[in-house]
Amino acid sequence: MKTIQFREAICEAMSEEMRRDETIYLMGEEVAEYNGAYKASKGMLEEFGEKRVIDTPISELGFAGIAIGSTMTGNRPIVEYMTFNFSLVGIDQIINNAAKIRQMSGGQFNCPIVFRGPTASAGQLGATHSQAFENWFANTPGLKVIVPSNPYDAKGLLKAAIRDDDPVIFMESEQMYGDKGEVPEGEYVLPIGVADIKREGTDVTIVSFGKIIKETYKAADELEKEGISCEIIDLRTVRPYDKEAILKSVKKTNRLVIVEEAWPFGNVSTEISQMVQAEAFDYLDAPIYRINTQDTPAPYSPALFAEWLPNYTDVIVGVKKVMYKK
């Protein structure tokens, strides 16, 4: 094993796959000459050249459309958005073209493309740069949505996404690019749609994904001091999500807390809550508890932002609530 940063895991995954398959290329703003806005494509221009690592104008709709069209001529593009907030400019291409090409062509064309970049908040960046869109894209048939939380998962899942014959939304975090973690020295690929139990427990199941899952680890450490054992499941893939892993855990612990960095209406935690109450209602000893951001645009003020974004104390409150403890 070796220890690398999250950004290095992303770069390694893309570079290894581009060495393996010449139809893969990277396109986006500042991915080439600047080595990526977050240095996630450092050194790739030098290795692969300007025909396979392509700087684009600030035109998300345009370069998303070019990349999607190129899949129909045998290419497998990776499109980087500087932030998924900017993907809204090109969302028509993602929703109405990438997600529907296979069906609308009667299976004549696949759309093997990866859209990747940071999602959700990254500090004081204001309301229009702090949004989590995982549930938006996951709501669309034809798209797969991956949100890793560490370098190991990021590398293995990005390689799987690049090899997939369907469009994949791969969401990262600006606040995780510097995170370090162990990854294998050799080749490995992780399956899409399989969750990972990050911590075994017996009293309550906590489901989360992406950078916000770090708050569940802090909460679990504190709760353990009080004799409460938390089982933490990292979804890793939002669509398709690992329903069986969640049900198995809930049937063991009989309690469920879901932590998600998104607005509370119609999100991933809502979907999981409905699924569990429909398929494991008799196993629940308490109502399901969801933890989300406040139902407002993200504030710029640091004091207000701290109130808006969930943290480990919110997780502790939620766990104690389903445990009927104060």
Whole-angstrom Cα distance, residue 22 to residue 44? 14
Cβ proximity of 235 and 241 under 8 Å? yes
Whole-angstrom Cα distance, residue 186 to residue 179? 20
CA distances for 216 relative to 151, 192, 265, 313, angstroms:
18, 23, 21, 9
Whole-angstrom Cα distance, residue 216 to residue 259? 8
Cβ proximity of 257 and 244 under 8 Å? no
Of the candidates 317, 278, 279, 285, the residue with the CA atom closest to the CA atom of residue 202: 285
Whole-angstrom Cα distance, residue 44 to residue 31? 9
Positions annotated as catalytic residues are 60, 129
Whole-angstrom Cα distance, residue 141 to residue 116? 18
CA distances for 325 relative to 146, 251, 293, angstroms:
34, 21, 23
Which residue carries 């991915």 as its tokens? 31
Whole-angstrom Cα distance, residue 222 to residue 232? 14
Whole-angstrom Cα distance, residue 105 to residue 72? 11
**Type of residue found at 98:** A
Q: In terms of residues, how long is the chain? A: 326
